[in-house]
Amino acid sequence: MAQNNQFPTEDRDQQILRRLANIEHKIDSLDQTTAFALRADGERHSESVMGIFGRSTRRAQVYLAANGERSVTDIAELLGMSQSNVSRKLAELQQEGLLGIHEMEGAKTYWGKKPIDRTIRISKLLMEKFSLDKDGLPIK
């Protein structure tokens, strides 16, 4: 059986790792291209985002507080809201495609932002529009 002359001493695991690194590089390049294209039309996307949030400071607060490390209970305590209101806002934002379940640990569900947040800078927009910090708390 002929061996690959470019990497003749690689064992099977090394070959797999090299191929995975190549795939990851291609995915990163595609993500960067997509992000560039989306940012080029940023004003239109900002209008769409503001259509989702409207004047709802509470929805913006819940969105910002959902950092992948907080459960419904954690977000409710941080923002001084009821768990039922937080759950409802999380579900609405999930339906809009902005949030998702980041991790589940026992009975706790941790919520996080989708990658689109970084791409079109949703958090930054909401922080400026509603005068909130990165955790959704009012800036004093």
Q: Report the CATH number that the domain containing residue 113 is assigned in CATH.
A: 1.10.10.10
Which pLDDT does position 27 carry in this prediction? 54
In a domain, residue 21? The reply is no
Whether the CB-CB separation of 113 and 120 falls below 8 Å is answered with no
Evaluate whether residue 77 is within a structural domain: yes
Q: Is the pLDDT of residue 88 over 60?
A: yes
The residue among 65 and 116 whose pLDDT is bigger is: 65
Q: What are the beta bridge partners of residue 110?
A: 71, 103
Span 52-73, pLDDT tens digits: 898 899 999 999 999 988 999 9
Is residue 11 domain-resident? no
- Is pLDDT of 46 > 70? yes
**Can you tell me the distance from the alpha carbon of 39 to that of 18, in angstroms, rounded to the nearest whole number?**
31
The mean predicted confidence, pLDDT, of the chain is 81
* 14 within domain boundaries: no
Spatial distance between the Cα atoms of 96 and 8, rounded to a whole number of angstroms? 50
Using alpha carbons only, what angle is made at residue 61 by residues 56 and 62, rounded to the nearest 5 degrees?
100
Of residues 120, 78, 113, 73, the one with CA closest to residue 96: 113
For residue 1, the model assigns a pLDDT of 47
Q: How confident is the model at residue 94 (pLDDT cuts 50, 70, 90)?
A: very high
- 106: pLDDT strictly greater than 50: yes
In-domain check, residue 10: no
Q: What percent of the chain stands above pLDDT 90?
A: 41
The answer to whether position 63 is within a domain reads: yes
Residue 78 lies in a domain: yes
Q: What is the pLDDT of residue 76?
A: 97
Q: What is the mean pLDDT of residues 13-25?
A: 71
Structurally, the chain folds into a number of domains equal to 1
Confidence of residue 24 (pLDDT cuts 50, 70, 90): low
Is there a domain that residue 138 lies in?
no
**Predicted local distance difference test score (pLDDT) of residue 11:** 79
Q: Which domain covers residue 80, as residue numbers? A: 39-130
Q: What is the pLDDT of residue 82?
A: 96
